[in-house]
Chains A and B, each alone.
Chain A
Amino acid sequence: MATLSLQHLDKIYDNKVQAVYDFNLDVKDGELIVLVGPSGCGKSTTLRMVAGLEDISAGHLLLDGKDITQTPAKDRDMAMVFQNYALYGHMTIYENMAFSLTLRKENPNVIHKKVLAAAEILGLTEQLNKKPAQLSGGQRQRVAMGRSIVRNPKVFLFDEPLSNLDAKLRGATRREILLLHKRLNATMLYVTHDQTEALTLADRIVCMSMGHVQQVGTPLELYDTPANLFVASFIGLPPMNFFHVTVQEDALVNETVRVPLTAQERQMLKAYAGKEIVLGVRPEDIVAGGEIMVKVFSNENLGMNTLVHGHLSGSAKAEDKITCKLRGWCDYSAGDMVPVTFVRKHFFDKDTTNAIRGEA
């Protein structure tokens, strides 16, 4: 396995469009890094630069300390798993998995051992004589992974491998990838736009937007201490609620709501007294009971929780919309006023959009 270092990577296309700006990342040996972000944020481009499928416009790519920026894709010793599987339909699963090694003219007996071992890991032994068309989407994706495993590459690259699967299969295959990572202890770079995949799979997440890295950290760090408004809005489902508020001595206020501050929060926002900031509250950080009123307009029962959609203090303004994830089964009707409390708050600078950490 291997370490990977992405140093100041830029990607500028011939038409002068810049897709990636100054990307820096050090991937440790055996680490699973997930690049996450909305469509067009540059995550797949970054992965393709690492794979050698896109030229690197500026910066350096180091594999085990060796500069491979100009090394052709075939010599990088990396295996890529694509969203659309990229299997050969006329070949059996065995032949698909053996294909890359056959091209390298490896000993057929060695190839056989590697293919059987990979098939065993992925539970594909019974499918080896079948053609890809005879397999389900999940099984096909496992074959694509198997094809990578037999090569025993230094780095595995996954480009949205679960996007073509239905929700149930996606969950199952996600768990398989996680088990595979634990079993192989391989260095992996994984691209997805699905934050659930990112949070469940990653050792560390790289959150990207518009070609820029917004935050690098563990899933908990990104969820718990988002670096800016973008990360806060992107990570978490349902997304975080945001309100423009003014910092007063003991509370955050706007035209519709007054949110009391704890002593710790007051200390944190000392420098922002009298200024407007953005208050972020995750739906799951809202509990029933308290002095903030929410006028319900819809109610979604999820079993263990209830998603309550409403407006703060009965306001009809779009910026006062709020989603609360309340514990238990709640039967609210449209128009009901529900008292809530924000048990945890996030604060963001209105101008820079960066999180306000302050001195708590």
Chain B
Amino acid sequence: MSMNEEQFIKRDRMRFAKNTLSSGLALLAILFNVFYFVSIYKSDVGSYYYSIVIGASILYNLIFMLLVFLSSEGVKGYNVSYAYVLLAVGVLQIVRIFLLPVSAHAAVVTVNQQETIVMQTAQFIRVVVYLVASAVCCLVAGVVGIRKSRVLSAHMASLEQKVA
């Protein structure tokens, strides 16, 4: 098999093989996000988390999971629109680091007449790692999705040209 032929077959395989890499990465992003939101809330810091920001955060988590799950199915079938959605939510995951985790890490509350930091450094690092990992998965899934979709589109166009 020549190099050209191998390249051609590799592209042609995409007609029948799903983009499992992007799809898998998207699902992994959901998993890291789950680790994030089960790690962030603590009950021993008074009423710090009882605010509209936390409500919005919970709502966003639900929307994130729904969007990324739908996108994982979309990119599996080389739908480029879903790849862009993954890029967008990947960027948002980075932005989220500077919202709740950073503010909770900087906040101090008084519990039982003792001042305590809402989010200790160890917890802060842990949730940041989860968000970064989730973001990276989304971004890579999006980039791979866009690249593969373009390759497949070009290949399909060349096949159609051949037939014509």
Task: State the A residues within 8 Å of B (CB).
Answer: 92, 94-95, 108-109, 112-113, 115, 128-129
Chain A CB within 8 A of B1 CB:
yes
Residues of chain A with a CB closer than 8 A to B1's CB: 109
B160 interface residue (CB < 8 Å to A): no
B92 at the interface (CB under 8 A from A): no
Pairs A–B under 8 Å by Cβ, sample size 20: A92-B16, A94-B16, A94-B17, A95-B16, A108-B13, A109-B1, A109-B6, A109-B9, A109-B10, A109-B13, A112-B9, A112-B12, A112-B13, A112-B16, A113-B9, A115-B16, A128-B15, A128-B16, A129-B15, A129-B16
Residue of B nearest to A111 (CB): B13
Q: How large is the interface on B (under 10, 10 to 19, 20 to 34, 35 or more residues)?
A: under 10
- Closest Cβ–Cβ distance, residue A155 to chain B (whole Å): 28
* Cα-based distance from A112 to B15 in the complex (angstroms): 11
Complex CA distance for A92 and B16, rounded to whole angstroms: 8
B16 cross-chain contacts in A, Cβ below 8 A: 92, 94-95, 112, 115, 128-129
Q: Majority SS of interface residues in chain A?
A: helix
Interface residues in chain B, defined as those with a beta carbon under 8 Å from any beta carbon in chain A: 1, 6, 9-10, 12-13, 15-17
Residues of B within 8 A of A112 (CB): 9, 12-13, 16
A residues near B6, Cβ cutoff 8 Å: 109
Q: How far does the alpha carbon of A128 sit from the alpha carbon of B9 in the complex, in Å?
A: 16
Closest to A108 in B: B13
State the Cβ distance, B91 to closest chain A Cβ, in Å.
Answer: 33
How far is B16's CA from A112's CA once the two chains are assembled, in angstroms? 9
> Please, which residue of chain A has its CB at the minimum distance from the CB of B12?
A112
Task: Determine the residue in chain A with the shortest Cβ distance to B16.
Answer: A94
Q: Which of B12, B13, B15, B16 has the largest count of A CB atoms less than 10 A from its CB?
A: B16
- CA–CA, A112 and B5, complex, Å: 12
Shortest CB-to-CB span from A223 to chain B, Å, is 45
Residues of A within 8 A of B9 (CB): 109, 112-113
On chain A, the residues within 8 Å of B17 by CB distance are 94
Closest partner residue, chain B, to A94 (CB atom)? B16
B5: min CB distance to chain A, Å: 8
CA distance in complex: A115, B12 (Å):
12
Query: What is the bound-complex CA distance between A357 and B63, given in angstroms?
Result: 85
Min CB distance A310 to B, Å, is 60
Q: How far is the CB of B97 from chain A (nearest CB, A)?
A: 38
A115 to chain B: closest residue by CB: B16
A288 CB to nearest B CB, Å:
59
**Which of B10, B12, B13, B15 has the most chain A CB within a 10 Å cutoff?**
B13
Residues in chain B near residue A128, CB distance under 8 A? 15-16
Query: Which residues of chain A have C-beta atoms less than 8 A from B12's C-beta?
Result: 112
A115-B16 Cα distance, complex, nearest whole Å: 11
Identify 12 new A-B residue pairs, CB closer than 8 A, beyond the known A108-B13, A109-B6, A109-B10: A92-B16, A94-B16, A95-B16, A109-B13, A112-B9, A112-B12, A112-B13, A112-B16, A113-B9, A128-B15, A129-B15, A129-B16
Which residues of chain A come closer than 8 Å to B15, judged between CB atoms? 128-129
Instruction: Across the interface, name the chain B residue whose C-beta is closest to A129.
Output: B16
Q: How far is the CA of A47 from the CA of B65 in the complex (A)?
A: 52
Bound together, the chains give a CA A108 to CA B6 distance in angstroms of 10
When C-beta atoms are compared, the residue in chain A nearest to B77 turns out to be: A129
On chain A, the residues within 8 Å of B13 by CB distance are 108-109, 112
Q: How far is the CA of A94 from the CA of B12 in the complex (A)?
A: 12
User: How many angstroms between the C-alpha atoms of A115 and B15 in the bound complex?
Assistant: 13
Bound-state Cα–Cα, A115 to B1, Å: 16
Chain A nearest Cβ from B28, distance in angstroms = 21
Interchain nearest-CB distance for A95 vs B (Å): 8
A26 to chain B, nearest CB (A): 39
Chain B contacts of A92 at CB under 8 A? Answer: 16
Name B5's closest neighbour in chain A (CB-CB): A109
Task: Give the distance in Å from the alpha carbon of A172 to the alpha carbon of B10 in the complex.
Answer: 35
Residues of B contacting A115 in the complex (Cβ-Cβ under 8 angstroms): 16
Task: Report B15 CB to chain A, min CB distance, Å.
Answer: 8
How far is A128 from B17 in the complex, measured between Cα atoms in Å? 10
CB-nearest residue of chain B to A112: B13
Q: Which residues of B contact A95 (CB under 8 A)?
A: 16
What chain B residues lie within 8 Å of A94 (beta carbons)? Answer: 16-17
CB neighbours (8 Å) of A113 from chain B are 9
Q: Give Cα distance in the complex from A128 to B12, angstroms.
A: 13
B49 to chain A, nearest CB (A): 42
